[in-house]
Amino acid sequence: MTEFGADWRVVDGVATAWFDAPSLIEGAALAGRIAELPAELVVDVRATGLRVRLDAGEHAEAVSAAARDLGLSANPAVLQHLSVVIETANPAAVRRFWQRALDYAPGEDGGLADPLRRDPALRIRPSAEPQPLRNRIHLDVVRPAAAVEQAGLGEASGPFGVCHADPDGNEVDLVPGAALGDGTGTSDWQAVFSAMACYRVTSPAQQGDLAAAAAALAHEAGFPLLVDLRPGLVIIDSGKDQWEDDAHGLGLDFTDLADDLQTAARELGATADPGLPRFAQLFLDAADVAAVRGFWAAALGYTPDRRAGVNDIHDPRRLNPELVFQEIDTSETERRRQRNRIHVELAVPADLARTHLATIVAAGGRLLDESEERRRVADPEGNELVIVSGT
């Protein structure tokens, strides 16, 4: 990775850097400078810094130089990227189902990828291993109600009437979102577990101005807003449940902030695209929820939800998907012994792969096998995490 400079690493095949920043304002300032580069823009601004991903590595030094000008330093140790792997004997049929459910695009590896590069990629691998019982891992996906209907997955099942299964029986809870509040001041927003508004922009200057305005409003309110920049687009996101008072624990009503953000976006001439918001998370069944949850929190460096009785854990930078845990009936011994058709893949920089493996094993992981670029580990109940490094 030396050809891109010391700030950068290859993560999931993409030149990636994280720059620590003291607030959203400083992060948005760097994002605005990056927006002026002639590159495909993939920038995620957070209250503690920003992640930059470049498909064309020739712009890496320009990004690093802009960061140095603003006094921001790179921190490669925090770089990681989660994706979901489905093993199947029927890849074509499984791929068709998940493409409708997620509205993803075909990926270069034969899987599926989020066109907005926010939610986890879905990798589909052929397997003849018989796994007839219900999986212990499933996905929750929340999209606008119209998009859920348009997906056309047929009649749903389950206690909430949102569960669908692919041809192998892998499940997704496809949940319809709703408007955020009843007033016109938040009409650009969708509640999709997160509160989210997606704005089309027509120039790099407009994009940078909107990112800066959103960062300033959120900083003033003391709210750790997520601001993602994509080609022609700015995505403003609360993070899962963070628009709810008991989740953020701050002395504010998020709908007031959403109103201010919407006003700023419209004054800058940005146009909301209400069909784009989407939220995806992973759900794990566990006999010992505390042990399994503790493993994944330590292995991924995730943070437990602050609320009592909530089993979520999340990436502290909210760059990777949330994990949620629920108790399984311990009498389902055969299902618990069956190897999952779904597992998690963790892409990390090659020079940090051994460190990640040591952390995961120390957290209670069991090394199953390894090669130069892949290390397969099982959690205390056999759910698999594959550490992937290299280009």
DSSP one-letter string for 311-349: --EE-TTS-S--EEEEE--TT-HHHHHSPPSEEEEEE--
Residue type for position 386: V
Strand pairing partners for 164?
Answer: 172
Residue 3's pLDDT is 65
The pair of three-digit structure tokens given for residue 377, joined into one six-digit string: 């580990």
How many beta carbons lie within 10 A of that of residue 88, not counting itself? 22
The SS3 call for residue 379 is coil
Percent of all residues in the chain with a pLDDT value above 90, rounded to a whole number: 94
How many beta carbons lie within 10 A of that of residue 364, not counting itself? 17
234-253 residue pLDDT tens: 999 999 999 999 999 999 99
CATH architecture for segment(s) 81-136+288-389: Roll (3.10)
What angle is formed at CA 387 by the lines to CA 137 and CA 20, rounded to 5 degrees?
Answer: 100
Distance, in Å, from the CA atom of 169 to the CA atom of 209, rounded to the nearest integer, reads 46
Residue 391's pLDDT is 60
- Counting as low any pLDDT under 70, the low residues of the chain are 1-3, 391
Strand pairing partners for 19?
Answer: 50, 74
What angle is formed at CA 317 by the lines to CA 314 and CA 230, rounded to 5 degrees?
Answer: 115
Strand pairing partners for 20?
Answer: 49, 73
Which residue spans of the chain are classified as CATH 3.10.180.10?
Answer: 81-136+288-389
Residue 1's pLDDT is 42
Residue 40's pLDDT is 85
For the chain, counts of helices (H) and of strands (E) = 10, 26
The SS3 call for residue 29 is helix
Residue type for position 10: V
Cβ contacts of residue 2 below 8 Å, gap of 6+?
none
Cβ contacts of residue 297 below 8 Å, gap of 6+?
303, 304, 313
**pTM exceeding the 0.85 threshold for the entire prediction:** yes
Residue 39's pLDDT is 84
Cβ contacts of residue 384 below 8 Å, gap of 6+?
339, 340, 343, 344, 368, 376, 377, 378
Any idea what DSSP says for residue 107?
Answer: P
Beta strand segments in 136-278, E: 137-143, 163-165, 171-176, 178-179, 190-192, 194-200, 226-230, 233-237, 271-272
